[in-house]
Amino acid sequence: MREVAILGVAMTKFGNSEKTNIEMFAEAGLGAIKNSNIEAKDLEALFFGNCLGTFEEGQMHMAPFAHSVLGMPMSSPATRFEGACATATVAIRHASLLVGAGVYDMVIAGGAERTTAMGTPLATRTFAMGCHAQYESPLGITFPGVFGMAAHMYAKKYNIPLKELKRNMAEVAVKNHFHGAKNPKAHFQKEITVEKVLSGGMVADPLQLLDCCPFSDGSAAVVITSADKAKQLVDKPIYIAGTGQASAGPLYLQQDLTRVKAREISIKKAYKQAGIAPKDVDLCELHDCFTIAEILALESMGFYEFGKAYDSAAKGETRLGGKMIVNPSGGLKAKGHPIGATGAAQVTEVVEQLRGESGSRQVEGAKIGVVDTLGGDYGTVCNIILRS
C-alpha cells in the first residue's frame, strides 16, 4: 500500500439551508477542488455520502448528480455510501484505501445532508431508522433514549451520583459551544453556561435539550491522492496515517452501553496502522451527538481510563489550552450534525488544524489528529488518523 494524503478540504456553513443536497455538495466539492490546485477532470472517482435524501427531498441515487454538478468526467464512477452518522467517514476511508491500493490516483469524497426541511417529528423518525427496525423501533427506541440509558448505566457502574454526572455532562456542552463560538461555519456560534444546560427541557432522562446535538443542513468534501502527487500540488499535504472501522449488531445484543466495543476495536486498528498511541494525539474530532457520548468516546479511544473521563471538560483538560483538545470545531453539539456530511467536516477541521489554518481556535503545535464517527446506536464506528 502506498502512502495517501489529503490535498484540499472544504465545507459549507452548517445550520439551516435553502439549498438542495446537490447544491450544498457543489459548494463544498468545488471548494475542495480549488483548494487542491486541480480541476474536476483530474478526479477519477466520487465517494458520496447521504442518508435521508429520499425523505428530505424525494431524491435517491444522488451520487451521479453530485458527480455531474462538479464537472467530473463520465469515465469516473460515483458511488453513494450510507453508514448512518458515520457515512462520510466510511466514504473517506474507502476512498483512501483504493488510492492506497493504486486503483485510483486522485478522488473526492464527502457528503451532504438536509435535515431541517423535514421538521422535528419526521427528522426524529428518520434518524431512528438507524436503530433496529424489527426489535428496537417498535419499543420507541430513539438515539436520545439510547444515550439516556447509557448515562444512567454509566452513573450506576462507576458510582457517580446522577446529579454530579449531569453537571459534568453540561460542562461538555459548555466547552463545545465555547469552541463553536470561534467557528464561523458552526451551526451554533454562541457560548452557553452550565446553568443554561441544566435548566433546559428534558429530552430523554437525564439528557436535556442542550445535551443533544441539533439537526443540521450542510456538506463537506475532501480530495485524496497519493503522497507523492500531493507533495507536487500543495505546500502542506496532510497524510492519512491510519484508519479503522468496526461493526456491532443490534443494541439488544450489547449488554453494557458504557462500552462502545466497535469503537475500541476500530481505534486500535487505526493506532496500530499509524504506529502511535493515544498519548501522541494532539486533537480529536469525536462523535458528541450527546454530551455523554463524548465521555464514552474519550474512554473507548484510550484517552482516559474507563469511568474517569466524566469530569474532563470541567477540569479544562479537553478545552483549548488543555492537555488534549477535543472538538475544537464545536463538535456535533455546536458545529452541527448533517449526518451524511459529519465525518467529512470532522476531517476538514483536523486537516485545517494540522495546517495551522484555524484562527482563534487553533491548537498550537498540532501534528497528529484523530477523527471518530459513530453510526447508529453503536452499530458502525470509523476512525481516521491524520498527521502533518
104 and 147 part of one domain: no
The average confidence (pLDDT) of the chain is 96
- Model confidence band, residue 281 (pLDDT cutoffs 50, 70, 90): very high
Domain assignment present for residue 127? The answer is no
The pTM of the full predicted model, rounded to 2 decimals, is: 0.98
Chain-centroid distance, C-alpha 35: 21
Tens digits of residue pLDDT in 303-314: 999 999 999 999
- Mean pLDDT computed over 135-142: 84
114 and 228 part of one domain: yes
Q: What is the pLDDT of residue 139?
A: 83
Q: Please answer whether residues 70 and 33 qualify as being in contact, where contact means their C-beta atoms are separated by less than 8 angstroms.
A: yes
Tens digits of residue pLDDT in 163-200: 999 999 999 999 999 999 999 999 999 999 999 999 99
Domain assignment present for residue 125? The answer is no
- 179 noted as active-site residue: no
pLDDT at 154 over 90: yes
CA distance 343 to 366: 20
149 and 272 part of one domain: yes
Which residue range(s) make up the domain with 93?
4-119+216-239
Q: What is the pLDDT of residue 124?
A: 84
Domain assignment present for residue 133? The answer is no
Domain assignment present for residue 194? The answer is yes
How is residue 96 written as a grid cell?
Answer: 483512501
162 and 234 part of one domain: no
46 and 100 part of one domain: yes
- Model confidence band, residue 232 (pLDDT cutoffs 50, 70, 90): very high
- Mean pLDDT computed over 19-33: 98
Q: Please answer whether residues 86 and 374 qualify as being in contact, where contact means their C-beta atoms are separated by less than 8 angstroms.
A: yes
CA distance 385 to 244: 9
198 and 261 part of one domain: yes
* Cis preceding-peptide flag for 184 (omega within 30 of 0): no
171 and 257 part of one domain: yes
How is residue 3 written as a grid cell?
Answer: 502512502
Listed residues 239, 274, 291: the one ending a domain = 239
220 and 355 part of one domain: no
In terms of DSSP bridges, do strands 106-114 and 217-226 run parallel, antiparallel, or are they unpaired?
antiparallel
Tens digits of residue pLDDT in 97-113: 999 999 999 999 999 99
- Mean pLDDT computed over 220-235: 97
37 and 48 part of one domain: yes
Q: What is the pLDDT of residue 173?
A: 98
CA distance 152 to 154: 5
How is residue 171 written as a grid cell?
Answer: 460542562
In terms of DSSP bridges, do strands 217-226 and 4-11 run parallel, antiparallel, or are they unpaired?
antiparallel
Of 51, 67, 85, 187, which is the active-site residue? 85
10 and 93 part of one domain: yes
pLDDT at 120 over 90: no
Who's near 119: CB < 8 A, 6+ residues apart?
A: none
What is the torsion angle, in degrees rounded to the nearest 10, for the CA atoms of residue 133, residue 126, residue 120 and residue 59?
-160
Given its phi and psi angles, is residue 29 left (phi above 0), alpha (psi -120 to 50 degrees) or beta? alpha
| Rg over CA atoms, the chain | 19
Q: Please answer whether residues 344 and 220 qualify as being in contact, where contact means their C-beta atoms are separated by less than 8 angstroms.
A: yes
34 and 152 part of one domain: no
Tens digits of residue pLDDT in 332-382: 999 999 999 999 999 999 999 999 999 999 999 999 999 999 999 999 999
Domain assignment present for residue 235? The answer is yes
Q: What is the pLDDT of residue 141?
A: 85
Q: Please answer whether residues 290 and 213 qualify as being in contact, where contact means their C-beta atoms are separated by less than 8 angstroms.
A: yes
Q: Please answer whether residues 347 and 386 qualify as being in contact, where contact means their C-beta atoms are separated by less than 8 angstroms.
A: yes
Q: Please answer whether residues 92 and 111 qualify as being in contact, where contact means their C-beta atoms are separated by less than 8 angstroms.
A: no
Domain assignment present for residue 67? The answer is yes
Domain assignment present for residue 134? The answer is no
Buried b (16+ CB within 10 A) or exposed e, 262-289: bbebbbbebbebbebeeeebbbbbbbbb
- 85 noted as active-site residue: yes
Q: Please answer whether residues 137 and 363 qualify as being in contact, where contact means their C-beta atoms are separated by less than 8 angstroms.
A: no
163 and 56 part of one domain: no
Domain count, the chain: 2
Domain assignment present for residue 137? The answer is no
The CATH code of the domain that includes 21 is 3.40.47.10
Q: What is the pLDDT of residue 337?
A: 97
Alpha-carbon distances of 326 from 138, 286, 353, rounded to whole Å? 35, 7, 12
